Amino acid sequence: MARAAVENACWDMTARVNNIALHELLGGTRKEISCGVSIGIQDSPEQLLEKINTEVEAGYRRIKIKIKPGWDYDILKLVRQSFPDITLSVDANSAYTLADINLLRSLDGFNLLMIEQPLSHDDIVDHSHLQKQINTDICLDEPITSLDKTRKAIEMKSGRIINIKLGRVGGFSEAIKIHNLCYEHNIPVWCGGMLEAGIGRSHNIAMSTLPGFSLPGDVSASKRYFKEDIIDPPVTVSKDGFIKISQIPGTGYEPKEKYIEKITVRKEGFSA
């Protein structure tokens, strides 16, 4: 993640020096990106339904809910009964094994966009076996750490969708290579979030403009996480679930330096 922070800052600086928008420098083509949200495991099914309703009314175009053993089939049945038409996916965060094949196969009946990372966090072998036995597309997340790991996952048919996280792969350069490989193989990708503040979020927005990012990502509005973000303007999402891409040189967002200084609790100094 430290490497990604430094590299992405260099990309942003290069775009500003050349007076072009960062997404243009990256090769992005989209003028707006579609947005989804991720909802964690809640204290009760009723609380989950309430949160889903809030996000649907806010316009988000994909709802992702976390699942785990005991919070899966019955919960999804309830969600689908309440929201039959929403684009719905689930994220298992490696909570299952191949011994759960029957349970995972039963989720095919809920018309899910994907099951994200159902098996071990670094696995691509068992995911390949699982994908052959279920209809729902598997999305790989944690194993996608490099171009080489992505290539192997594609060759093994470990999943049909890829989640690209800038922090995890080390920055824009590797992310673009992964995107291009997936695009060549007609594998849709989307941009996952790692609870970034505004600067990281602005990089995710720029990345999501590349043509292969055809699915709504976890790039949501600043206000969903922060009372006040560290950038100006804050990230906003339209009522129909899109973020409009800024044409201002660089990311299109400026760090709020005074506010950052105010909330800083520790500093480190470096000298040549």
Q: What is the pLDDT of residues 192-212, one digit of tens each?
A: 988 899 999 999 999 999 999
pLDDT of residue 268: 86
Tell me whether residue 165 is one of the annotated catalytic residues.
Answer: yes
Would you say 35 and 236 are in contact if contact means Cβ atoms under 8 Å apart? no
- Taking residues 61-77, what's their average pLDDT? 98
- For residue 258, name the pLDDT band (cuts at 50, 70, 90): very high
Q: Give a yes or no: residue 50 inside a domain.
A: yes
**Active-site residue, from 165, 227, 239, 244:** 165
| pLDDT computed for residue 119 by the predictor | 98
Give rounded-to-5 percent helix, strand, coil for the chain: 40, 15, 45
Q: Which domain holds residue 58?
A: 2-263
- Helices 198-207, 2-17: axis angle to 10 degrees equals 70
Q: Is 66 a catalytic residue?
A: yes
What pLDDT shows up at residue 145? 97
Selecting among 51, 64, 66, 68, the annotated active-site residue is 66
Q: Tokens for 161?
A: 């969708």
Q: Is 31 within a domain?
A: yes
**Is 93 within the bounds of a domain?**
yes
CATH number at residue 196: 3.20.20.120
Residue 271 pLDDT greater than 90, yes or no: no
The total number of structural domains in the chain stands at 1
In a domain, 272, yes or no: no
What average pLDDT does the chain have? Answer: 96
Residue pair 139/117 in contact by the 8 Å Cβ criterion:
yes
Prediction pTM value: 0.95
Any domain includes 199: yes
Task: Confirm whether 9 is domain-assigned.
Answer: yes
- 170 domain residue, yes or no: yes
| 270, part of any domain | no
